Structure 1
């Protein structure tokens, strides 16, 4: 019977780079979405309502602060 000549061994590969890339993409998506939403909110309030510039800035800052507090990374429950 022919032997398997592959160097691949299931579960033996170091996946640190893939994990780091995945975490980077997730972080960019999360924070990019927050700031995109903040930009849309700012320009919508500025041009489509009577909120004016300062009202748009205040609402946008509230969204950014709330989003930052809600989206920041939580420490692992098992880590001390």
Structure 2
């Protein structure tokens, strides 16, 4: 069984849909569930957006930190 409820490969979405899909997926997680975000660059701006819109409601753990692929485990508290 996967440790992730959902996996999002952000490179598969057009730019205008990426954050929408990521936040919808996060919002559908139950507390203690996690999603895996895969991206081709460091998603720091997304983390800042999470901190702004969901303060204290998530954890952010890098599984792989580049230079080519970034994988982040985002868990709902």
The two structures have a TM-score, normalised by structure 2, of: 0.28
Greater share of strand residues, 1 or 2?
2
Q: Considering Cα pairs closer than 8 Å and 6+ residues apart, tell me whether 1 or 2 has the greater RCO.
A: 2
Larger Cα-atom Rg: 1
